[in-house]
Amino acid sequence: MKKTIGFIGVGIMGIHMSRHLINAGHDIIAYDKVPAALARAVDQGAEAATSSKEAAAASEIVITMLPDSPDVEAVALGPGGIIEGAKPGLIHIDMSSIAPAMAQKVATVLGEKGVRCLDAPVSGGEVGAQNAALSIMVGGPEDLFNEVLPVLQIMGKTVTHCGPSGAGQTVKACNQIQVAMNFIGMAEALVLGAKAGVDPAIIIKVLSGGYAQTRVMDVRGPRAIRGDFAPGFKSAFHYKDLNIIMETAKNLHVPLPASALAHELFSALMAQGRGDLDHSAVLTILEDLAGVQARTKTPA
């Protein structure tokens, strides 16, 4: 059934997600504080709103896809935000990756205005967004999840109800732990092999054919050894996620020693001014430490 959907945050990921909704026949009212991003959404068929408040007021469902917890709090609860345009029965689906505690706060405060809320962070990066192949992790009431599932399935291939409010964000934190470990494991393997004089393309080929194979290696490995770190998911965003992971672990009294190391490696990446590169660029920090470049000598 055709819906009027507000889409706030039409950047690297949101622009593709909103396009799929338009192509499926939904009316999209887009808003982004970056004029160029909003212009791209209009070019692909969205109507432009002048604020988050306006987008919410005109919509049955409002989706947010924003960088971090403070951004979601401001857009959802701040001046000119969703809360000021909300009417009872509005559905808010936050698809950003934020702290579980912030997801719960937004759901509670908007709930007092009669807004029904889901946290629904995604995994899959820009490629997943382009291909409508995202993995979507959803927290909130199960009946609401079932109601909006057809909308979520337009943007994602795997859509899973994870539990109550905040559970989607918790599962996303778990996902980002595993993804960080995969990138660091790949980087260490490539740097060790390169230091020993083995062509990184050979390492990728062999590891991809055995038990060490990962989706990270399949998607980003060949690009990384060519020195192609154009962002599918920026390192700065993964560093933000690692901050959320460490804070959540602290609050829950859960030791995460390997995640702590990953946090420090991504911190070094930020210190080197490489936050706008893809998160596979953590390879460059290990290259710096080892004094070698893990770049291919043969076609990857």
Catalytic (active-site) positions:
172
> Which among 34, 200, 88 is positioned nearest to 14, based on CA atoms?
34
Cβ 74 vs Cβ 99: under 8 Å: no
Helix runs in 118-255, H state only: 125-130, 142-155, 167-195, 200-208, 215-224, 235-252
Helix runs in the chain, H state only: 14-23, 35-43, 52-57, 69-77, 82-85, 100-111, 125-130, 142-155, 167-195, 200-208, 215-224, 235-252, 257-271, 282-290
Q: Which amino acid is at 245?
A: I
Six-digit token string for 168: 């989607």
Distance CA 58, CA 41 (A): 17
Q: What angle do CA 194, 197, 198 make, to 5 degrees?
A: 70
Q: Side-chain half-sphere of 101: how many Cα atoms within 13 Å?
A: 9
- Largest distance between two CA atoms of the chain: 64
Give the distance, in angstroms, between the CA of residue 102 and the centroid of all CA atoms in the same chain.
Answer: 16
* Residues forming beta bridges with residue 158, ordered by sequence position: 135
Cβ 288 vs Cβ 271: under 8 Å: no
